[in-house]
Amino acid sequence: MAKMDLRRLRYFVAVAEERSVGRAAVRLRMAQPPLSVQIRKLESEVGTPLFRRGTRGMELTAAGRALLSRAREALALTAEGFEAARAVAAGRRGRLSVGYMFALAHAVLPRLVPELRRSLPKVDLEFIELSASTREARLLDHSVTVALCMPAIRHSEIEVSTIGKQRLMLAMPAGSQLARAAAVPVRKLQGRPLISLPGPAEDPATSVVTSLLRRHQVSMPVANRVETAHSALSLVLAGEGMAILPACAQLGCPTGVVFRPFLDADDAIDVAVCWRRDSLNPLVRNFLKCAEKVIRQA
Amino acid sequence: MAKMDLRRLRYFVAVAEERSVGRAAVRLRMAQPPLSVQIRKLESEVGTPLFRRGTRGMELTAAGRALLSRAREALALTAEGFEAARAVAAGRRGRLSVGYMFALAHAVLPRLVPELRRSLPKVDLEFIELSASTREARLLDHSVTVALCMPAIRHSEIEVSTIGKQRLMLAMPAGSQLARAAAVPVRKLQGRPLISLPGPAEDPATSVVTSLLRRHQVSMPVANRVETAHSALSLVLAGEGMAILPACAQLGCPTGVVFRPFLDADDAIDVAVCWRRDSLNPLVRNFLKCAEKVIRQA
DNA sequence: TTTTTGCCATACCGAACTCGTATGGGTGAG
DNA sequence: CTCACCCATACGAGTTCGGTATGGCAAAAA
What is the pLDDT averaged over residues B220-224? 85
Rounded to whole angstroms, the distance from the CA of residue A9 to the C1' of nucleotide D5 is 26
A134 part of contact set with chain B, CB < 8 Å? no
Task: Choose the closest CB to B84 out of A7, A66, A80.
Answer: A66
Q: What pLDDT, on a 0 to 100 scale, did the predictor assign at position B21?
A: 94
Q: Which CATH superfamily is domain A166-268 in?
A: Periplasmic binding protein-like II (3.40.190.10)
Q: Which residues of chain B from 76 to 105 reach within 8 Å of chain A, CB to CB?
A: 77-82, 84-90, 93-94
Is B234:B254 a contact under the CB 8 Å cutoff?
A: yes
Backbone angles phi, psi at A111, to 5 degrees: -100, -30
End-to-end CA distance of chain B: give it in Å, rounded: 63
Which one is the CATH code of B93-163+270-296: 2.40.37.10, 3.40.190.10, 3.40.50.720, 3.40.50.280?
3.40.190.10
CA distance A23 to A132: 67
pLDDT of residue B163 exceeding 90:
no
Rounded to whole angstroms, the distance from the CA of residue B70 to the C1' of nucleotide C15 is 32
Contacts of A281 in chain B (CB under 8 A): 62
The proportion of chain B whose per-residue pLDDT surpasses 70, expressed as a percent, equals 96
**Does the fold of domain A166-268 match that of domain A93-163+270-296?**
yes
pLDDT of residue B297 exceeding 80:
no
Task: State which residue has its Cα closest to the C1' atom of D25.
Answer: B55
Closest among A203, A237, A238, A209 to A222, alpha carbons compared: A209
Q: What pLDDT, on a 0 to 100 scale, did the predictor assign at position A231?
A: 84
Contacts of B46 in chain A (CB under 8 A): 82, 85-86
End-to-end CA distance of chain A: give it in Å, rounded: 63
Give the domain ranges of chain B. Answer: 6-89, 93-163+270-296, 166-269
**Residue-wise pLDDT tens digits, A27-71:** 999 999 999 999 999 999 999 999 999 888 899 999 999 999 999
What is the pLDDT averaged over residues B5-27? 94
CA distance B281 to A62: 8
**Residue-wise pLDDT tens digits, B107-140:** 788 889 999 999 999 999 999 888 877 888 888 8
Rounded to whole angstroms, the distance from the CA of residue A49 to the C1' of nucleotide C18 is 22
Please check whether strand C approaches the CB of A6 to within 7 Å: no
Q: What pLDDT, on a 0 to 100 scale, did the predictor assign at position B201?
A: 46
Which amino acid is residue A100, in one-letter code?
Answer: Y
Contacts of B69 in chain A (CB under 8 A): 81
CATH of region A6-89? 1.10.10.10
Q: Which CATH superfamily is domain B166-269 in?
A: Periplasmic binding protein-like II (3.40.190.10)
The 10 Å Cβ neighbour count of residue B144 is: 24
Please check whether strand C approaches the CB of B22 to within 7 Å: yes
Confidence class of residue B298 from pLDDT cuts 50, 70 and 90?
low
Q: What pLDDT, on a 0 to 100 scale, did the predictor assign at position A201?
A: 46
Please check whether strand D approaches the CB of A33 to within 7 Å: yes
Please check whether strand D approaches the CB of A162 to within 7 Å: no
H-type alpha helices, chain A: 6-18, 21-27, 32-46, 62-90, 102-105, 109-119, 135-140, 204-215, 229-237, 283-296
pLDDT of residue B99 exceeding 50:
yes
Q: Would you give per-residue pLDDT tens digits along chain A (298 residues)?
A: 567 899 999 999 999 999 999 999 999 999 999 999 999 999 999 999 999 998 888 999 999 999 999 999 999 999 999 999 999 999 899 999 999 987 788 888 888 999 999 999 999 999 988 887 788 888 887 889 999 988 888 888 899 999 888 899 999 999 899 989 899 999 999 999 999 876 544 455 557 888 888 889 998 988 888 877 888 888 999 888 999 988 888 887 888 899 999 999 889 888 899 998 878 788 999 999 999 888 887 6
Please check whether strand D approaches the CB of A37 to within 7 Å: yes
**Residue-wise pLDDT tens digits, A103-127:** 788 888 888 999 999 999 999 999 9
The 10 Å Cβ neighbour count of residue B181 is: 11
Q: What pLDDT, on a 0 to 100 scale, did the predictor assign at position A2?
A: 64
pLDDT of residue B80 exceeding 50:
yes
Query: Contact B4/A5, CB-based, under 8 Å?
Result: no
Contacts of A63 in chain B (CB under 8 A): 84-86, 88-89
CA distance B16 to B206: 71
Please check whether strand C approaches the CB of A37 to within 7 Å: yes
Query: Contact B46/A87, CB-based, under 8 Å?
Result: no
Selected residue of B4, B30, B65, B284 to mutate for chain A interface (largest A Cβ count, 10 A): B4
Which amino acid is residue A40, in one-letter code?
Answer: R
Closest among A208, A214, A215 to A244, alpha carbons compared: A208
The proportion of chain B whose per-residue pLDDT surpasses 90, expressed as a percent, equals 52
